[in-house]
Amino acid sequence: MRTPHSESVLSRTVRIIEAFGPDEPALTVSEIARRADLHVATASRLVGELVAHGLLSRDTDRKVRLGVRLWELVTRASPTLSLRNTALPFMEGVHDVVGHHVQLGVLDGEEVLFLERLTAPGAVVNYTRIAGRLPLHASSSGLVLLAHGAPALKEHVLARPLTLYTPATPATPARLRSLLADIRLRGYAYCPGYVHEEALGIAAPVRAAKGDVVAALSVIVPNDEAGRAVVPVVRTAARGLSRALGG
């Protein structure tokens, strides 16, 4: 456990907020203290202050979760809000055609962060969620962003161990280099069974005013030959969104 004076209150507060994950939306103070590497008394005091400001909230069973006020502040100030709002009509159009998952992802560090996701009852399996992340080398959105990313980013990702999700996942530097070159040439990523054997990911780049790739528009559909027919739908929507952004 870190010593009380080794870091600022802000740093400890950030660790408390980061303790919550998509699969752990509500935690006890003891669980927060353990995840944030804090003494229980320190965690309890900071949690109480965050609750008082509305950044955290307490359930009737005394479990703690992220507060509505935190969501409000983050949404209001988010630099990705205009991108998401512009993308939604195009995503809805694609969703009407494919009837499975449609998602919008951006590069954040060495992962793809998903800003929006449309789905439907009975849609194919998909690990993506709003505000969720996936590694760049395995997801269709991540591969598009990596293919058009900075050379230093590519080399850094290629130098790391690459997680193998299925036998189809590109998990060697040689295969990943070849795949990235192919994506740049074709203008889209086609990823059958890369994250889950039953799912096919298809993604296309979204460009801003200067032509820079700022996002990836993708679909997750069943992993069969019918997926080939979806490629033009995704590419057309991504080009339309790019035009709407000035690209």
Predicted confidence pLDDT, tens digits, the chain (247 residues): 555 556 899 999 999 999 998 778 899 999 999 999 999 999 999 999 999 999 999 998 899 999 999 888 877 767 678 899 999 999 999 999 999 999 999 999 999 999 999 999 999 999 888 888 999 999 999 999 999 999 999 999 999 999 999 999 999 999 999 999 999 999 999 999 999 999 999 999 999 988 999 999 999 999 998 999 999 999 999 999 999 998 7
Neighbours of 154 (CB within 10 A): 17
Which has the closest alpha carbon to 9: 43, 40, 53? 43
CA–CA distance, 132 with 152 (Å, rounded to integer): 24
Contact 94, 59 (CB under 8 A): no
Domain-by-domain residue ranges, the chain? 9-75, 78-244
Report the Cα–Cα distance between both ends of the chain, in Å, rounded: 49
Contact 217, 238 (CB under 8 A): yes
Please tell me the predicted confidence (pLDDT) of residue 26.
93
Quote the pTM value. Answer: 0.81
Contact 143, 183 (CB under 8 A): yes
Please tell me the predicted confidence (pLDDT) of residue 127.
87
22-28 contacts at long range (C-beta below 8 A, 24 or more positions apart): 22/129, 22/131, 22/132, 25/65, 25/66, 26/59, 26/63, 26/64, 26/65, 27/63, 27/64, 27/65, 28/62, 28/63, 28/64
Nearest-10 crossing angle of helices 40-52, 29-36: 110
Question: How many CA atoms lie within 13 Å of 161's alpha carbon, on the beta-carbon side?
Answer: 3
Secondary structure of residue 196 in the 3-state scheme:
coil
For the domain made up of 78-244, the CATH class stated in words is: alpha beta
Which has the closest alpha carbon to 91: 124, 139, 130? 130
**Per CATH, which fold does 9-75 belong to?**
Arc Repressor Mutant, subunit A (1.10.10)
